[in-house]
Amino acid sequence: MHRTMARHYWIRAGILFALSWYIVHLVKTGNLYLYIVPRMMPYVKCGALALFVLAGFYAFLAIQRSDDSPSEPDCECGHETPASVSGNVWLYGLFAIPLVLGFVLPDRLMGSEVVAVKGMNLKAAAASQGQIIRTPEPVDDQPTGQPVKPEPSESFEPSEQPVQPEMSDTPETTPEQPVKQSAEQPIDELDKLFPEDEYGMDYAKLGKRLYPYDTIHVHTVGYLEMLTMLDLYQANFKGKQIVISGFVYREDDMEQDEFVVSRMAMQCCSADATPYGFLVRWDKGASLKKDTWISMTGTLSTTVYRGNKIIRLEANKIKIIPAPKDPYVYPYYDDFDQISAE
C-alpha cells in the first residue's frame, strides 16, 4: 500500500514540477503575455513558485512512503486513488495532456482563425446598450420651441443634424429682464454634441476633449475606450482622420476592397479574448492577406453592415508592419484624461 501511494506521490510531484517549469519557460521566452494580461503576471509567477514548493512536498511524501517500514495509518478521508489503471490514466491525463500540448505546440498569436470562431465586434459601444441615451433626431412636425424627447434605444448614435437645446426651467422673461447665464454653467455647444448619462460620462468627456482634433491616433493604451467613444459619437467625428494599427481580417460577405483592421482584447486571459476593429475600404484591399499587420490612416465615415450602422474608414495610407511584441489590448482602468490622441 505504501509503495503504491509513493508512486502516486511521485506522479503528482512530476506534474506539479512540470507545470511550474512551463510557467518559467513562458516567462523566459517572453511568451507569457500570449495567455494572460500583464496585471495577472505577478500572480502567475507567484503561482509557479507555489507549484514548485508543492511538488517538493509530494516528493518528500513519496520518499517517506518508499521504505517498507510501517508509517502512520491512512486518514481514511475518502480521497483514495482510483483502483483501476484506466482510472488513474484518466485522472492524471487531465493534467498531463494539456501540459504536454503546451510544450509541444508552438506559442502563436491569436488571429483570424480565432476571430472566425468568436465573431468580429464592429460596434465597440455594444457593451453600453440600454445605458446611454440617444441623441434626438430632428422631427419635422415638432412644435417650434419644444424640446425633442429622446427615444429609448439599444445604442447611442449622435444626430448628424444640430440638436435643439432642451427648454430651461427658468421662468419666461421679457426683453427688459434678460436671463443672465451663470459663469459656472456656461452654455456649451459641446454638451449638445456629446449628451451623456451616468454610464457614458467618461466617454462624453473624452469625446469633448478630442473633438477639436483633425487627426486622432488610436493607441494600444485606451484602445477599447477610444473605439467605444468613436462608435457612440460617430456623427461628430465624420471626416476626421483616424490613425490605427492591427491585423487584417475579412468576412466572406465583405466587398473585395473591404476588410477589418482589428485587435484582440483580453480582460483576464486568452480564454476571454474578444476581437474589436473598424471596417476599412481601400481600393487595393484585396491584395492584403488575412493576419497581415498594418498601420493605416483613414477618413472616418459610416455605413450599414448586417443591419447595423457602423464606422467605416476610407483608407488614405496603409503600411505593412511586423506584429508588435504585445499585440493585445486591455481595458483601461485609469482616468480617461490620460488617453492620448496624438
Percent of the chain's residues with pLDDT above 70: 76
**CATH numbers and ranges of domains, the chain:** 2-69+84-108 (no CATH), 118-134+191-338 (2.40.50.140)
pLDDT of 210-269, one tens digit each?
999 999 999 999 999 999 999 999 999 999 999 999 999 999 899 999 999 999 999 888
In this structure, are strands 274-281 and 308-320 parallel, antiparallel, or unpaired?
A: parallel
- The DSSP bridge partners found for residue 260 are 249, 279
**E strand residue ranges, 120-256:** 215-217, 241-249
Cα 5 from Cα 71, distance rounded (Å): 12
| Predicted local distance difference test score (pLDDT) of residue 66 | 66
Cα 283 from Cα 316, distance rounded (Å): 10
pLDDT of 36-84, one tens digit each?
888 888 999 999 999 999 999 999 988 887 665 455 455 555 456 656 7
| Predicted local distance difference test score (pLDDT) of residue 183 | 37
Cα 74 from Cα 1, distance rounded (Å): 10
pLDDT of 130-160, one tens digit each?
333 333 333 344 333 343 333 443 444 444 4
**74-96: buried (b, 16+ CB within 10 Å) or exposed (e) per residue?**
eeeeeeeeeeeeeeeeeebeeeb
Grid cell at residue 168? 430651461
Between 113 and 5, the higher pLDDT residue: 113
Cα 22 from Cα 9, distance rounded (Å): 20
